[in-house]
Amino acid sequence: MERAHESIISPAARLVILLVEEQLTDEEMERIIFKPIIKTGAGFYAVVAVLGGLVALGAYAYYVQLSEGLIVTGMTDIVIWGVYITNFVFFIGISHAGTLISAILRLTKAEWRRPITRMAEAITVFALLVGASMILIDLGRPDRMMNVPLYGRIGSAILWDFTSILAYLAGSMLYLYLPLIPDLARAKELKGIPRWKQKIYSFLSFKWKGTKEQKMRLERGISVMAIIIVPIAVSVHTVVSWIFSMTPRAGWHSTIFGPYFVVGAIFSGIASIIIAMAIFRKVFGFEKFLKPRHFKYLGLMLLTLNIAYIYFTLSEYLTAGYWGQESEGQLLAAIFGGEYATYFWIFVIFGLLVPAFILAIPQTRTIKGIVFASILVNIGMWIKRFIITVPSLALPQIGSEWGVYSPTWVEWSITIGAVAGFMLMFLIFSKFFPLISIWEIKEDPTTKKHVVDGPEPTSSKSAEGTVQIRSHSDSSAD
């Protein structure tokens, strides 16, 4: 609907229309956004029960693995990494959603970002937690995990990884937390919030009153974190790629891997935020905040990354395949036309080409189309990470016998449990914290919604009114 009038109406008039459309009072806005925190329906418990059951399945599988050893997996002395490492790369990739959407859009002052930053930042934290736990699950001796910080060797890419992931986790938690403060201060005053929750909010929001001084400091803190978090995020997926490319293996030892992985991470990260947005929009009725244009903008970003990933993929395989060592040739033969061809072509067709077409053609670039493309992208990118991890290991280093790998129920259960755990964390988060940053929407200079008890916005009919920049007056949220 919105798309229809966008094409025929001038930009100034469109702003007016947007304004009229966005005439939500602050009370209405808070009512919608805080509703999931105050009211919890039976559906929520049903979903939690299902997800909890799947997590329990994963936990049971891990218990079996702990008691029997990694022998219960399909991994062998040749294919020594499998689904766990695939999951690790996949979830660390997804964690890039938060940084990109939030930090980069914040730094470039893209105002449309405001309703989606919170969800993006939350994805980062949860995906990192799940991704990091995949490494622990893959360890033969998780009981000695502390040997990494205790005896860490600076020369090992795993130590680099350990360092940058911890830094990213700390940074992204802080980056999620800082913009929550004003909303939590507001949440503790809401009617219908139980006392124990009020205590949590009051603890977490310190003594936020929304004074000019506090706001200035908060904005400064958020800006600093936005700047710091970008290089850390880039380092994380670069180092993940370096774990592979620092080894003398065909298919891994490639200088392109750093940027290739970073682009892939942002690619699957954007797809994840689109899926999360679509789900919460439906479930919690966030249609008034998450509008078609948000999906369209993110869809276009996804398309950009999609094209970039096609370019990198082509560049990587063409260089290795046109002239490469014998082992590279064997590997590519197995990927393009052998053992792994099915996976590879599913990735290329349904993970890269189909989404690119859906996103590029205006007729299919609808919310449904964009969400569908995002789901394809995430499935495709999981397969791609599998294609990166397994074939290079299965390739014989001596002789001609290929390694075989077929994941067991333990590995699949832990994988399902991990995905369910990721969703569960998100769901529980949604019951404690507002999924949309209310104070940031109120401060959006393009909608001038900032004074609650003041007079109604008077200039909603004139285009000039939209130009007004954020007021610095004390606009505490009550």
Partner 1 sequence: MNAGRRRFVKLLGIGAATIGASLAGVSQLLRHLPLVKGDSDGSAENAPRKWGMIIDLKKCDGCRACTEACKIAHHIPFNQEWIKIYEVEDNPLTPPYHLPRPCMHCEEPPCRNVCPTGATYRRKDGVVLINHDRCIGCRYCMTACPYSARYFNWGDPPHTQEELAHEYSPEEPWPHIRGVVEKCDFCVTHGEKGILPPCVTGCPSGAIYYGDLAEDAVSNGQELLKVSEVVRVRQAFRYKEELGTGPRVYYLPRG
Residues of this chain that bind partner 1 (CB under 8 A): 68-71, 73, 75-78, 80-81, 135, 138-142, 144-145, 147-148, 150-159, 162, 243-244, 246-249, 252, 393, 397-400
85 vs 290 by CB, closer to partner 1: 85
CB 249 within 8 A of CB 79: no
- DSSP letters along 287-346, please? TTTS-HHHHHHHHHHHHHHHHHHHHHHHHHHHHHHHS--HHHHHHHHHHHHSTTHHHHHH
CB of 397 to partner 1, least distance (A): 5
152 vs 210 by CB, closer to partner 1: 152
79 vs 123 by CB, closer to partner 1: 79
Could you give the CA distance from residue 423 to residue 86 in angstroms, rounded to a whole number?
18
* Residue bearing tokens 């080409």: 353
CB 208 within 8 A of CB 182: yes
150 vs 469 by CB, closer to partner 1: 150
- Please give the single-letter amino acid code of residue 411: E
CB of 387 to partner 1, least distance (A): 16
CB of 151 to partner 1, least distance (A): 5
CB of 402 to partner 1, least distance (A): 12
Could you give the CA distance from residue 282 to residue 26 in angstroms, rounded to a whole number?
21
The DSSP output letter for 77 is S
> Which H or E run contains 84?
helix 83-94
13 vs 404 by CB, closer to partner 1: 404
Could you give the CA distance from residue 221 to residue 182 in angstroms, rounded to a whole number?
13
CB of 143 to partner 1, least distance (A): 9
* Residue bearing tokens 């702990």: 66
CB of 426 to partner 1, least distance (A): 29
114 vs 385 by CB, closer to partner 1: 385
CB environment 326-342: b (16+ within 10 A), e (fewer): eebebbbebbeeebbee
CB of 409 to partner 1, least distance (A): 16
CB atoms within 10 A of CB 175: 27
Residue 352, CA distances (Å) to 113, 241, 278 in order: 25, 20, 21
CB of 154 to partner 1, least distance (A): 6
25 vs 156 by CB, closer to partner 1: 156
43 vs 399 by CB, closer to partner 1: 399
Could you give the CA distance from residue 411 to residue 62 in angstroms, rounded to a whole number?
9
Could you give the CA distance from residue 445 to residue 423 in angstroms, rounded to a whole number?
33
Token code pair at residue 442: 């109120």
